[in-house]
Structures are given as C-alpha cells and as structure tokens.
Structure 1
C-alpha cells in the first residue's frame, strides 16, 4: 500500500532533518565533521507477478565528511590544528583510547597535556624520545613536569671547522734539524665550555704551522691562560694535510685534563681544511655542554615536536606528539565531546609522526573549525522539508482514498 511508502518517506525525511539540524547546530564546534545520510530504495516482489513495486525508502548509512575545516589562528600555545590526515590520540580516566580533531589543549596541575574534557594527549615523553616507534600502542600521556628544569651538562664533545692558510710563513730558527719551526702562534681563538658543575669556562685553541702541510694544535684552559698554578687543560697534537688541503692525520682527539672537574672531552676537526690565500679563521663551532636552566617557553613544530626554550639559551626537544590515522575513518564511531572511537570497520590504528608516511602536519596556535557549509545545509533543509511535506500529502491522499472506500455502500 502506498500509505506505507509515505510513512517510510516521512520517517526518513525526519531523520534527514535531524542530521541536517545537528550539522547546523555544530557549525561553530571545533573539529566537527559534517554528516549526511545515504538513502536506498525498497522494492517488493509479488509472488503472482514478475513486476517489482516500490515500497518506500530507507537510510543505509550516515557518511562522515572528513574534509579539512578552515584553520583559525588563536595565538595560544596549546591550540593545535591538523592539515590533512590524522587525529590527536587521547586517553580518558579509564584508559580508553579516543581520537579527535579538536586541538584545544591545556596543562593540568601535574603538567599533563589534556583536552577540555580532561583526557590525556598521548605521545612520547622526553625520556622515551629515542625509542623506536611502532604500532603497539605503547604511547603514554605527554607530561612536561620533568622538563621545567634543565640540569647542567658538562662538555664532552667539541666540533670545530677551521680554515688554515697553507701560505702561512714559517718562522725560521737554527737547530739541529733541517725543518722550519714556528716560534709564534699563527692563529689563536677562544671558545666556551662547561665543567661538571655547569660553570662556563674559556679555552684557548691555537694553530701553529710547524712545517709544510703540518700544524700544531694547542689547547689550554682558562686557568692556564691566567697563569694559574692549576694546569687544568694543556694539550697539543699535530694536524697533517695533503696537497689538496685535506686532513690525512687523525681527525678526532682526546683533550687531556689534570683536573677531575671536567668530563672527558673529544675534539672533532674532521671538516678542518687547508687552503691558499685565505685568512686563518673558524667557520663552525659547537659543544654539547650547558649550564642549569629553567623552561621559559615551548613551541610545537609541524612534525609534532615540543621544543622548549630555556633561560640558559638552550633549545631542546622535550616531547613528541604523535598522530593516528585509519584506512576507513568514515567508520569511526562518533562520540560526545568532539571524539571518535575505533571500530572493526575503521581498520587498524596507524600511529606516526606528523608530516611523514601520509600523516598531516600539526599547525601550532591554530584550531580547525567545523567543516559544515551552512549555505549548503540550509538548502538541504529546504529540500528535506519539501520531501517531508510531499510524503505527508501522499499520506493524506491515501487516507482520503481509504476513507472513501470504507464509506461506500
């Protein structure tokens, strides 16, 4: 009977209006993804006839639209958006895993990064950053408590790139050898290192040309420079170059110290070269020590790294936000609070670093707005309303026909 067709049309149109209304209601909800129904027609087959007869309409599925919403700048450090694919992975108080595109996060009193519902954002903490990443869900809530103070670190490695002038004159002096020996320092410079107490100290590194393609490197500590009786660091070694200015001798050296206040220090001169007609100079210097510092600020990079800036001018990676994605995100189960949970149909969770292996990028100080198109939803509402009215009219017409048949005499 056509009355049943009309009823199914009324029910489906009502469901469609509910979905559209929900989309419109969430037009300002951060990270919300619009939804639309998939309709299917229903046919019945008569046992006495080969013809098929329409028997109404139903909704086979509700599809979620995971296209990106517009990114809105907020200027807030823990407001995060995602460009393209990926979800933030959060844990509730019972340890259940959820996923969200809503990047409104904050620090709780224990320095955990949480969302507005108090769920913990997961990733890698500073003590686990070197661990191999896998999909075994071995991630933990990101906690910044241990990053607010950066402990002092003594210098253990120095890397220096120096350019030496191969035409530097040798200062001659008479001795029993046939070689020319320099009596004065050809090039001298100063750098800072840190002892075991985190105190900054100065060292002197000088390069003396002693013969063709051969230089003597001398390293002295500040105490020795100041003529103290304590010779904390005073060591030297030779550098030998070939005719092309490339090092042929050892490139990495141990700096000897007579004082236990220093860490064992290595000096890496691998990139040091000898050239003609250039000034003696250094191009690059780095050392791995620093004094104690406190966290002043942190920023989040597009690959999800949390980068801390400290009062001692050190910049360190202090955490790592990791994203999750699914083969079939449309089958994720929507939940209250801008959340989804995995289902059997959504496929296995894949965890990775933002910007790699198909994952989208994290955008700091921004939020992803709802991807609801209000103009489109209003048009859909008008169409759904017309469908509802038309089905209601069909119902009324069928009702009149039945009434007429009942009242026949």
Structure 2
C-alpha cells in the first residue's frame, strides 16, 4: 500500500465531509426560507484495483441531491397574494433576464407597476382570464404566458347593459291615469343616469303605454329612449311584448370621442302585472360607478380575481403551473428557483387542480422542508468523520517521516 495513497484517501474523506458540511450549512441557513428544498450529500466509494497482492487505497466521491419533490408544511398569513401549492407542481416566474423559471416560493407582493413579485424579485406568470374558455396551453413550453399585472384594475367602472323592472299597474284606476318610477343606470364612464319609466292607461282596457325617458339635469331636455304598448290578459299577466323584454336606445352625452355613452339596455318586464292593487315597483339595472380595488381573491384552481370596494369581484388571470417527470433532478439556482435539466425531463404545463397538479392555497406559504434536528445530527457526524479522516492523513504523514529518516 502506498503511503501517498493513504494520505490521498484521507484527503478524499476530508473533502467529502467538507461537502456534506457545506450542504448542512446551506440547509440550516435556509431553514426559514419559503419553499426551500433541502440538499443532501450522498457518498460513493472509489476503489482502485489491487495488483500483486498490494492494496491500492481509493477514496470517496460525493453527489449532492435535492429533495425538491418533498413538500414542506404551511404557514398561514393575512395576504391573499401569498401562495402555496398543496401537491405537485411549480409556479412559473420570470426574471429580469426575461427567462422563465420554476419555483415553490410563493410570497408574492403587488408592486407599483402592477406585477406580482416574490421576495427574490421574480414575476408571477399566467394567462388572461376568459369566462368562455380556458386559454390554449402549450404543453411543453412557455409560449402563450403573460405577466400577471394588476395595474389595469386600479379603478374601474362597469357600464349598464341590462336590467329588470316588475311593476303592478292598478286595474281599477279610471282612464286617464299615469304613474312613474325610476331606475339608475351607469354610462361608459361610470356616471349615474336616472331613467324614468312612465305608465299611462289607454282607452282600451288591459292596455298601457310605457315610455322610458332621460332628462338632462342641466338643460332640462327630455330624450325618449323607448316606447312600448303593454297588453295584459284577463288574469292580469303580461302578454305583449310576448318575450317580456323592452329594449331601449343608447345615447351619447356630449361631443367627441371621449364623451360618455349609455348603451342600449335590455329591460326584462316579465314580472309586470295588472291587478286590483295599488301601484308598486321593484327592479334593478346592472353596472357600477368608478370603484377602487379593495383586495384580491385567488381560488384553489388559480383564478385571480380583483375585489372592488363596491362589492364587485372580477376575474382577471389564471395562474399557470408546471411540472416535470423528475423534480428532484431540476437544477437549483439562486433565488430559490429551478431550471430544466437533462435528467429532470421536459416541462409540462397545466392548471392547479387538474390531474397531476396540486391546488393553490391563498394566504399561505410553504415552509422549508429542512429538519433542524436532522441537520445538527449530520453536522456532528461530519465533524467526527472529518476528524477521523484527518487522523488517517496525519498517520500517513508520520509514517512518511519514519521512512525518510531511515536513510539518516
């Protein structure tokens, strides 16, 4: 056995334990890092062939593995944009370099530019929400993704498009008789517009004229938006219009491209009756005045909705998720992110809650999966093993001194 080989083996053992201690140090340092996945050092022997009865000492090599697929526990917060994944999958984030990465670190915060960034500065990616169909996903790539940006939701007004109005017209009133009620609608800029609905008897029994008008509050000009004759059967139910719908005309308030407009409205009159009871009305028109954002709501399937202080909840984006065949073989990068490697397999896109993907927890963060007690145990073991390997090196060095001193 070569004394030099003995010393080299001791150095190999010390290097291996140093690598293990480095992994332990990283794990302990990131014990409180959101979404951090612990590293572990695996050892494998390096054996050299023996010749002529002489033993050739080898050494040990190390390989670092990451427990990326091992889920951590959850810490619950008061922020709706703090996100955790319960199950498989990764959030897709984009760095300042414009490149997409995978992460489980979901401490996202709305920024001044409207983007959602985690503590490492990476922007959350997804798809614009559609109520009619899910976005088309490029299964094996990031094409079609867009930055989730909430800047366009800072202030919003919803123009009116439809409504309903159910009234009872007293059947025992003598002709001529007229009664009016009003509903508030909203134009394209969120201004309120009071619409007057006037019901008047005609000379024909069971028949009423309905007019819908708007009166300009400044000039006093009256504009007729709709006129309809209502007919009732002998039980007091509305028969004309047959579908119970009244359509009003739209109008523009002012001059120029920026002038507010009131769109044509479809008013459902189906609940209108003519019975021997006093005049009564109940109805509403959709739309809202300008309203500021009061918060956000994210469902377990990744639909991000903006909450306004008028109570509206409007879906804006669908958070995208990704997965790979072998998550533990992803390449870890600074910022608690991962990139695809040759061993991890291809990236497969999907949605939270779909087959193969976990659900999203809003107001929660995934903890590091580091066990401090386990890491401290590993640290003590490495310390002892490093000392033992240093003794091997020291013994080989002392034997070399003996050998050299033989020639004196």
Common topology (TM > 0.5): yes
What is the CA–CA distance in structure 2 between the aligned matches of 1:266 and 1:232, rounded to whole Å?
A: 12
- DSSP-derived class of the 2:317 partner: strand
Contact residue 89 and residue 323 of structure 2 kept, 8 A:
yes
The within-5 A match list for 1:91-170 is 91-125=94-128, 132-135=135-138, 136-137=141-142, 138-153=144-159, 155-157=160-162
The within-5 A match list for 1:10-409 is 10-46=14-50, 55-125=58-128, 132-135=135-138, 136-137=141-142, 138-153=144-159, 155-157=160-162, 194=186, 198=190, 199=192, 232-233=225-226, 235=228, 255-257=246-248, 260=251, 263-265=263-265, 289-408=287-406
1:117-174 Cα offsets, whole Å, 9 max, x none, are: 4332222346899662312422122221111122332x445699x9xxxxxxxx9xxx
What is the CA–CA distance in structure 1 between the aligned matches of 2:97 and 2:132, rounded to whole Å?
A: 25
Scaled by the length of structure 2, the TM-score of the pair is: 0.70
Distance of aligned partners of 1:41 and 1:202 in 2 relative to their CA distance in 1, 3 Å threshold: farther
What is the CA–CA distance in structure 1 between the aligned matches of 2:136 and 2:302, rounded to whole Å?
A: 14
- DSSP-derived class of the 1:20 partner: helix
What is the CA–CA distance in structure 1 between the aligned matches of 2:107 and 2:29, rounded to whole Å?
A: 19
Deviation at 1:380, TM superposition (A): 1.0
| Residues 143-152 or 34-43, more deviating | 143-152
What is the CA–CA distance in structure 1 between the aligned matches of 2:332 and 2:223, rounded to whole Å?
A: 70
- DSSP-derived class of the 1:104 partner: coil
What is the CA–CA distance in structure 2 between the aligned matches of 1:133 and 1:42, rounded to whole Å?
A: 51
What is the CA–CA distance in structure 2 between the aligned matches of 1:219 and 1:131, rounded to whole Å?
A: 43
Structure 1 unaligned segments of length 5 or more: list them: 163-170, 172-188, 207-215, 241-249, 273-284
Structure 2 unaligned segments of length 5 or more: list them: 172-180, 200-206, 216-220, 234-240, 253-261, 272-282
Deviation at 1:47, TM superposition (A): 5.5
1:273-329 Cα offsets, whole Å, 9 max, x none, are: xxxxxxxxxxxx997643433322222232222221223332101233222222222
Scaled by the length of structure 1, the TM-score of the pair is: 0.70
What is the CA–CA distance in structure 2 between the aligned matches of 1:75 and 1:294, rounded to whole Å?
A: 20
- DSSP-derived class of the 2:79 partner: coil
What is the CA–CA distance in structure 2 between the aligned matches of 1:131 and 1:239, rounded to whole Å?
A: 45
Distance of aligned partners of 1:314 and 1:252 in 2 relative to their CA distance in 1, 3 Å threshold: farther
Contact residue 252 and residue 267 of structure 1 kept, 8 A:
no
What is the CA–CA distance in structure 2 between the aligned matches of 1:307 and 1:148, rounded to whole Å?
A: 13
Distance of aligned partners of 1:158 and 1:13 in 2 relative to their CA distance in 1, 3 Å threshold: same
1:348-378 Cα offsets, whole Å, 9 max, x none, are: 2223222223222222232222211000101
What is the CA–CA distance in structure 1 between the aligned matches of 2:381 and 2:242, rounded to whole Å?
A: 77
Distance of aligned partners of 1:393 and 1:47 in 2 relative to their CA distance in 1, 3 Å threshold: closer
What is the count of residue pairs matched by the alignment? Answer: 367
Contact residue 293 and residue 309 of structure 2 kept, 8 A:
yes
Deviation at 1:95, TM superposition (A): 0.9
What is the CA–CA distance in structure 2 between the aligned matches of 1:326 and 1:219, rounded to whole Å?
A: 64
What is the CA–CA distance in structure 1 between the aligned matches of 2:355 and 2:117, rounded to whole Å?
A: 26
Contact residue 213 and residue 222 of structure 2 kept, 8 A:
no
Deviation at 1:258, TM superposition (A): 5.4
Contact residue 80 and residue 366 of structure 1 kept, 8 A:
yes
What is the CA–CA distance in structure 1 between the aligned matches of 2:83 and 2:285, rounded to whole Å?
A: 34
Deviation at 1:381, TM superposition (A): 1.1
What is the CA–CA distance in structure 2 between the aligned matches of 1:334 and 1:156, rounded to whole Å?
A: 51
